Chains A and B, each alone.
Chain A
Amino acid sequence: MASDVDTAPLVGRAELVQTVRSALLGDGAHGQTAAVFLTGESGVGKTRLLGEIGDRLREQGAVVLTGSCLDIGDASPLHPLLQALRRFDADLSTRARTSSAVRGLLQMFADETAGPDGAGALLERVSRGLHLIAEGRPLVLILDDLQWVDRSTRQLLLYLLAGLGDLQLSVLAAVRAESLQGAHPLRRVLTELRRLRTVRVLDLAPLGRADTEELAAAVVGRTLSAEAAEQVWQRSGGNPFVIEELARDLRDGRDGLSETLREIFLDRVDALPQHAHAVVHAVAAGVEPVQHWLLAQVLRLPEDELIDAARAAVAHRLLVGADDGYRLRHRLVAEVLAHELLPAERSGLHRRYAEALTAAPGELHQARLAHHWRLAGEPARALPAAVAAAQEAERLHGYAEAHRHWSAALQLAADPGPLTVDRVELLENAAEAAHHCGEHARALALLEELASLRGGEPSCALHIRRARYLAAAGRSALAEEEYQRALKAADCSPRDRAAAAARLAELLLHLGRYADAGERAREALALAENVEGSATEVVLASSALGFSDACLEDPDAGLAVMRDALDTAERAGQPEDVACAYLHLAELLTGPLNILEEGVVVARRGAERVAELGLGRTWGTRLLAIAINGLFRVGQWAEAEKVVAAALRHRPSGADAVELLLARCRLSVGYGDIEAAGRDLDAVATLLAGGGARHVIPLLTLRSGLAMWEGRHDVARLAVQRGLTESRSDDVMILSALVWHGLRAEAEAHASRTVDVDPTAVRRLRDVADRVARKSAGAARPVRSVVEGFLALCAAEVSRLDGSDPELWAVSAAEWDRRHHPYPAAYSRLRQAEALLARRSRVATAGKLLREAYHVAQGLGAVPLTSEIRELAGRARVSLEEREPTGATRGAPTEASDDELAALTAREREVLALVAEGLTNKEIGQRLFISERTIGVHVSHIFDKLQVRTRVQASAIQLRNHRG
């Protein structure tokens, strides 16, 4: 290309390039996903860095896909990925296999059709496709201008970064810092992600004074005079883009240095030949990259003249040309040019774009057509394109983008003109898309417009629809009223009536109004009896009735209803109904009824059945999650682990995936697999960065449980504190588990002396425990039962802060035994034994409790719990094997060949180890359950045998012999 497009060297970023490279492909990223987000202001050099790093990674053997997001609104779902694939395909010359994998993935997008669960299944297919393209090589996805990313791409990134795609992927993305101000959705995403080990958010600062001078000197070709250097520094503020342009002006001896960037570019635009002028403005009005043929049609220039004009624009550094078309050199150029055209000139350009594109379908075809026709001032022609773009977005499950296009279509249709459109249909589509993408208020507003357009009394169907939207928006009271209206509507068919009653029952159940829910459910069942093919309503109503009966203390009746519903669903044969019936039956058994074994069996059988019916990915995953949690609680951890692995093979996404990862993490925490648990917690946090609050408290509870096994009680405390400030006080079950974790963290801190107890935290936790007790008093029996278990643990942990009370621990153990949950029961026994030993009473009972707990913990594979039991047994000289007589000396693992300590007995060594930790005799006595006086005797024996006179000397010997 022209001589003036030579790029200046990359100055002042060497360290950054290295950091990014090693974060993405270094040892740390081994086998895991990794991401780096570069944020910085316009012109700071983000795009340049992406290119540079991309090249280096390619040299290292990575497969690099590069795409950019577009600023014409949510143009099209997954546009940057599609663009990256097309570019990659165009660049491929040799590898036939890779090329066919790329084409296969592109074809998959072309063949995709809208359907239930399409979005999740699409994510899975994309990750499979990427897997084939990577062929085992590291895969790097580079995305520029992420501030314009569409929602589908955002979800895809989080899905892949959470490791759900089972793909080793690195993401490198650039975000304009200016865009993150205000209310950009990426703000929250980045705040959450930047806390993860595998994610870096790097803020790209302007260059410093020295780097500014170096860059300017490199462009000019010689060292700058002090005066010029000062000017460049002052005017550029260290922004490399500005430095480069200023330095170029300086080199070319243009008169005086331009004051602003705007002046620089305006001067250049003015200096352009006439056709080049037109080229620059045409590209500014287009959607980048603007292909050569398109530019030719828009400008209607002969080929030679067009090429000359484009060359001139490139030479003046306003335009860049690449294989896929022309772009403005920089976003800043577009901003300068934005106000330079008359409105009539601009709309003329858009018209010509639209005309040219009409004849040649291509990438983003409908979205671009709609965009250009709209800006050309031709609503009648923009409208069909907007409708087509909306349908295209729905095909790829991008409801947010579809909603934008439907809304644009409505606006276009609102303009007076010779338009013949079915506004009702537009409104219906727009409302449904808004509902799908969570724009509840907008969906309701569209529904209002629909109602007033139709006039007269709203129909029953409309009431039901409004109620559905209201319920989704969490506005339950209004939703209830709306269902009531639907039931009273004159045009309500028996079928509609059954549906409304069933949904109302479901709503009431969620509100905890069991009696009302039961009543409505019975009504719905009676109505459904006379309607052919109403299995959906029967299943819905039955589950509401089943749960309400169970919660109103008639479990058998509830269970019977639910089993009947499953039969009905199987007879009717609708897959979704069958799946729904299995799910509710399994939930009923494992939830309120606490019949865990049977619940697990039902859930697993259901998962198999729905997989046969083609719903394995969604409903099957949900059923397996129920089975896993049931297995965890009954203590069949190994089995639970197997089921998790099986469920993850379905590659679930969204909330389903979060449930599974949390379940697996719970197992890892129990096993004491810190690495695996940490990985799952990060994956969950990644998914939750995309939105949602429901799973935050379970996440924090697990985080604190994990931190406690690591001995990081302060970290555990922080996780609980966050949880306490973010959970609703009516979620008593979740809250009671969290409070127990908090009190346990304080008790562990107290016992281990690693961290000071926080009296304020303890007071707050006790307050919350009291509040939970009060609130749960009025709750349904099954809820109360769970809460009571945790409150028993809480009370016992509190006692640990002040001389642990064995009676309270006995209560807790009994509470969990009653519910058949061996893990917390074993934990309670350990603490009960510890408390008894501390009081040096009923040592035999303590031994028995420890052996019971040990047996259970070993059976579970609960490593940290087992080792705590062992450690306590060791200190208290309790044998854990029943055959051995109590008090037999255990083979202490440290009893190796440490010569200096050879003369000491096992007990003396234990005492010495604690002396070396700096504990007083009294403290050692408490720790080993013997009196302070006895410790004094041990210590004097130790001094004699080691021939020392002070604790410090003794400690030194201990440390010397235990350095490894």
Chain B
Amino acid sequence: MTEPVWGPVHRDIVDLLADHPADVPAVVDHLTKLQDMLVRLPPLQASCPLADFNRLYLTITSSVLDGLYDDRFVDPAFLSRLDVEFAARYFDAMRLWTDSSPGTPKAWSCLFERMRGPDARPLPSAAAGVNAHINFDLPFALVTTFDHLESEPVDGSDQHHDYLEINKIFADKIPGLRRGYLERWQLLIDMLNGDIDDWYQGELVEYTRDVAWRNAQKIWRCRHDPDARECERMRLDDNAAALGRLLLSPLGAFLQ
């Protein structure tokens, strides 16, 4: 019998993933528990690349939760649903990986594969997770959320405003993380949000942050067409996976 995917914490993680958190407090609770499990995962333990991402994601989601309690958003119903949907995709990817399913998004598998080593530096590891999560998961989470709320991704709407507010949380959190990581975070996030070409042109930071939103609008328009939707999914997965591999390559370590 081969060793289970999650080694000694396999049972714990499978049990945790059996539950589907339905609100933001529950998501934070889930991520907290997950963090405790991931750092026990041999051989890398505390420096597990997925733990690097999870730690950052937990910090950001906790800030979103505080923001919700502190009345920071115009449409909390939207933002909460989005946050839950967004997290669900991360948990889904873990579930698929647990089943060794070929359906695991490539954007995620490139990070999951590195859990057994070789060790990647924390910055590129966390960045690879952020990449998969933002460039692949986020557009779909947006579409599902709008669909559920019987609303639409419209520029300049309350929801768009709140969505951009999350970007600010990312930005806010990053200086705090600089003690752990280095100063290129901001740059990296900007880069990850867009095509590398845009980044080289050194312009349109606002635009690149909006890439997930634009992609969501694109999927929104073809959401009733299973073929077109699937096509878009593959495209995003391939792009995100390519970027993820780059980050986890020696080139990514260079960013550290």
Partners in one complex: yes
B176 to chain A, nearest CB (A): 20
In the complex, the answer to whether A181 meets B88 with C-beta atoms within 8 Å is: no
In the complex, the answer to whether B229 meets A183 with C-beta atoms within 8 Å is: yes
B 56-91 to A, binary, CB cutoff 8 A, 1 in contact else 0: 000000000100111100111100110001001000
Q: A696-B77, A728-B75 are in contact. Are A188 and B152 (CB under 8 A)?
A: no
Task: List residues of chain A with CB within 8 A of the CB of B25.
Answer: 718, 721-722, 725
In the complex, the answer to whether A191 meets B152 with C-beta atoms within 8 Å is: no
A473 at the interface (CB under 8 A from B): yes
In the complex, the answer to whether A188 meets B226 with C-beta atoms within 8 Å is: no
- Per the bound structure, the CA–CA distance linking A188 and B144 in Å amounts to 7
Task: List residues of chain B with CB within 8 A of the CB of A893.
Answer: none
A446 to chain B, nearest CB (A): 13
B 213-225 to A, binary, CB cutoff 8 A, 1 in contact else 0: 0000001000111
In the complex, the answer to whether B71 meets A771 with C-beta atoms within 8 Å is: yes
In the complex, the answer to whether B80 meets A182 with C-beta atoms within 8 Å is: no
In the complex, the answer to whether A178 meets B71 with C-beta atoms within 8 Å is: no
In the complex, the answer to whether A183 meets B140 with C-beta atoms within 8 Å is: yes
Task: List residues of chain B with CB within 8 A of the CB of A178.
Answer: 103
A517 to chain B, nearest CB (A): 21
Q: A188-B147, A729-B71, A771-B71 are in contact. Are A473 and B22 (CB under 8 A)?
A: no
Task: List residues of chain B with CB within 8 A of the CB of A191.
Answer: 20, 22, 88
Q: Which residue of B lies closest to A195 (CB)?
A: B22
B230 at the interface (CB under 8 A from A): yes
A89 at the interface (CB under 8 A from B): no
B 243-254 to A, binary, CB cutoff 8 A, 1 in contact else 0: 000000000000
A249 at the interface (CB under 8 A from B): no
Q: Which of B134-162 contact A (CB under 8 A)?
A: 139-141, 143-144, 147-152, 154, 157
In the complex, the answer to whether A185 meets B144 with C-beta atoms within 8 Å is: yes
B216 to chain A, nearest CB (A): 8
Q: Which residue of B lies closest to A441 (CB)?
A: B152
- Per the bound structure, the CA–CA distance linking A843 and B65 in Å amounts to 46
Q: A195-B22, A696-B77 are in contact. Are A725 and B69 (CB under 8 A)?
A: yes
Q: Which residue of B lies closest to A722 (CB)?
A: B23
Q: A182-B230, A725-B76 are in contact. Are A767 and B223 (CB under 8 A)?
A: no
Task: List residues of chain A with CB within 8 A of the CB of B189.
Answer: none
- Per the bound structure, the CA–CA distance linking A265 and B65 in Å amounts to 52
- Per the bound structure, the CA–CA distance linking A182 and B148 in Å amounts to 14
A747 to chain B, nearest CB (A): 20
Contacting residue for A205 out of B24, B99, B150, CB 8 A: B99
Task: List residues of chain B with CB within 8 A of the CB of A812.
Answer: none
A 191-205 to B, binary, CB cutoff 8 A, 1 in contact else 0: 110110000000001
| Chain B interface main SS type | helix
A 705-725 to B, binary, CB cutoff 8 A, 1 in contact else 0: 000000000000010011011
B124 at the interface (CB under 8 A from A): no
- Per the bound structure, the CA–CA distance linking A206 and B232 in Å amounts to 27
In the complex, the answer to whether B103 meets A177 with C-beta atoms within 8 Å is: yes
A74 at the interface (CB under 8 A from B): yes
Q: A727-B76, A728-B75 are in contact. Are A721 and B23 (CB under 8 A)?
A: yes
Q: Which residue of B lies closest to A74 (CB)?
A: B224
Task: List residues of chain B with CB within 8 A of the CB of A182.
Answer: 140, 219, 229-230, 232-233
Task: List residues of chain B with CB within 8 A of the CB of A205.
Answer: 99
In the complex, the answer to whether A475 meets B157 with C-beta atoms within 8 Å is: yes
In the complex, the answer to whether B147 meets A183 with C-beta atoms within 8 Å is: yes
Task: List residues of chain A with CB within 8 A of the CB of B74.
Answer: 728
A764 at the interface (CB under 8 A from B): yes
- Per the bound structure, the CA–CA distance linking A768 and B22 in Å amounts to 22
Task: List residues of chain A with CB within 8 A of the CB of B24.
Answer: 722, 725
- Per the bound structure, the CA–CA distance linking A71 and B228 in Å amounts to 13
Q: Which of B98-153 contact A (CB under 8 A)?
A: 99-103, 105, 139-141, 143-144, 147-152
Task: List residues of chain A with CB within 8 A of the CB of B229.
Answer: 182-183
- Per the bound structure, the CA–CA distance linking A252 and B213 in Å amounts to 54
B49 to chain A, nearest CB (A): 23
Task: List residues of chain B with CB within 8 A of the CB of A440.
Answer: 152
Q: Which residue of B lies closest to A688 (CB)?
A: B148
B36 at the interface (CB under 8 A from A): no
Interface size on A, residues (CB 8 A): 49
Task: List residues of chain A with CB within 8 A of the CB of B23.
Answer: 721-722, 725-726
A292 at the interface (CB under 8 A from B): no
A881 to chain B, nearest CB (A): 46
In the complex, the answer to whether A71 meets B71 with C-beta atoms within 8 Å is: no
A608 at the interface (CB under 8 A from B): no
B1 to chain A, nearest CB (A): 8
Q: A237-B102, A725-B24 are in contact. Are A181 and B150 (CB under 8 A)?
A: no
Q: Which of B1-47 contact A (CB under 8 A)?
A: 20, 22-26
Contacting residue for B99 out of A188, A206, A473, CB 8 A: A206
Task: List residues of chain B with CB within 8 A of the CB of A918.
Answer: none
Chain B CB within 10 Å, residue with most, of A187, A192, A729: A187
A399 at the interface (CB under 8 A from B): no
In the complex, the answer to whether B76 meets A728 with C-beta atoms within 8 Å is: yes
Task: List residues of chain B with CB within 8 A of the CB of A147.
Answer: 226
A494 at the interface (CB under 8 A from B): no
Q: A188-B85, A191-B88, A718-B25 are in contact. Are A724 and B69 (CB under 8 A)?
A: yes
A 165-178 to B, binary, CB cutoff 8 A, 1 in contact else 0: 00000000000011
In the complex, the answer to whether B68 meets A181 with C-beta atoms within 8 Å is: no
In the complex, the answer to whether B149 meets A726 with C-beta atoms within 8 Å is: no
A470 to chain B, nearest CB (A): 10
Contacting residue for A767 out of B20, B69, B105, B147, CB 8 A: B69
Q: Which of A678-700 contact B (CB under 8 A)?
A: 691-693, 696
Binding site for B on A (CB under 8 A): 41, 71, 73-74, 147-148, 177-179, 181-185, 187-188, 191-192, 194-195, 205-206, 237, 400, 404, 438-441, 473-475, 691-693, 696, 718, 721-722, 724-729, 764, 767-768, 771
A-B contact pairs, 30 of them (CB 8 A): A181-B92, A181-B105, A182-B219, A183-B141, A183-B223, A183-B229, A185-B148, A185-B223, A187-B85, A187-B88, A188-B147, A237-B100, A473-B154, A475-B157, A691-B147, A691-B148, A693-B81, A693-B148, A718-B26, A722-B24, A724-B68, A724-B69, A725-B24, A725-B65, A725-B68, A725-B80, A726-B76, A728-B74, A729-B76, A771-B71
Given contacts A181-B140, A474-B151, A474-B157, 20 further A-B contacts (CB under 8 A): A41-B101, A41-B103, A71-B226, A147-B226, A178-B103, A181-B103, A182-B232, A185-B144, A188-B148, A191-B20, A192-B22, A195-B22, A206-B99, A441-B152, A692-B149, A693-B149, A722-B26, A725-B24, A728-B75, A768-B69
Binding site for A on B (CB under 8 A): 20, 22-26, 65, 68-71, 74-77, 80-81, 85, 88, 92, 99-103, 105, 139-141, 143-144, 147-152, 154, 157, 219, 223-226, 229-230, 232-233
Closest 7 CB pairs of A and B: A183-B143, A722-B23, A725-B68, A183-B140, A188-B148, A693-B77, A726-B80
